[in-house]
């Protein structure tokens, strides 16, 4: 189930009228940092953590992105930056994690219905820059991701994951035909993650 065993070319990304999606690299540090810090309170809820701290720096962000870039290159997990069409502003990020990643191995995973976690190969997370939520960019990203994942990735099932405290994204999923499939309680996290498929 790990991504190293996908055995196919990983999509480089896509371009739409609304945004460009491409693998994140360390040189995206400044653009990504601006989006992260603008959205930091909202990301702390999404992450259920204190990240990013108020004193987070571009240099620390570059280190984080170096790790994400390497993980992508190794095929362990995939991170894409969401950029405006001109490539001058980061609008958010998309993360594709294998469902057998370490973060899930010790988690309490409760099915909602009759599906099994191991029927799904990928857990997809995304966030959109706070200033772009009012214009429904998050819905545009979600709709685009659903089509892209179905057409180009051919996973053995995928789930969209958020957490129950991030109510804006929970409501986004509820207003689609996606169904709540699992509740996930990660060790050390105060709330549950909700997985939709």
157-193 per-position pLDDT tens digit:
999 999 999 999 999 999 999 999 999 999 888 899 9
30-39 per-position pLDDT tens digit:
999 999 999 9
For 15-44, what is the mean pLDDT?
A: 97
3-state SS class at 49: coil
Residue keyed to tokens 């995304």: 126
63-76 per-position pLDDT tens digit:
999 999 999 998 89
DSSP class of 9: P
pLDDT at 2: 63
Across 68-93, b (16+ Cβ under 10 Å) vs e yields bbebbeeeebbbbbbbbeeeebbbbb
pLDDT band at 4 (very low <50, low <70, confident <90, very high): low
Can you give the residue ranges of every domain in the chain?
A: 3-196
Number of H helices, E strands in the chain: 6, 9
Cβ–Cβ under 8 Å, residues 62 and 29:
yes
Q: Determine the CATH number of domain 3-196.
A: 3.40.630.30
For 124-134, what is the mean pLDDT?
A: 97
């Amino acid at each position: 189930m790990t991504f190293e065993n996908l055995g196919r070319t990983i999509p480089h990304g896509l371009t739409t009228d609304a945004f460009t999606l491409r693998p994140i690299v360390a040189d995206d540090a400044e653009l990504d940092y601006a989006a992260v810090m603008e959205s930091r309170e909202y990301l702390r809820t999404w992450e259920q953590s204190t990240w990013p701290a108020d004193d987070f720096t571009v240099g620390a962000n570059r280190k984080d992105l170096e790790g994400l870039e390497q993980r992508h290159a190794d095929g362990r997990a995939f991170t894409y930056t969401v950029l405006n069409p001109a490539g001058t502003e980061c609008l958010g990020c998309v993360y594709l994690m294998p469902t057998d990643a370490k973060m899930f191995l010790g988690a309490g995973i409760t099915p909602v219905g009759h599906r099994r976690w191991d029927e799904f190969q990928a857990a997809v997370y995304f966030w959109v820059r706070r200033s772009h939520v009012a214009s429904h960019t998050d819905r545009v990203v979600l709709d685009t991701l659903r089509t892209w994942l179905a057409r180009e990735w051919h996973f053995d099932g995928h789930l969209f994951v958020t957490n129950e405290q991030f109510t804006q994204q929970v409501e986004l999923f509820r207003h689609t035909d996606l169904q709540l499939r699992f509740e996930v309680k990660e060790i050390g996290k105060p709330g549950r993650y909700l997985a939709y498929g």
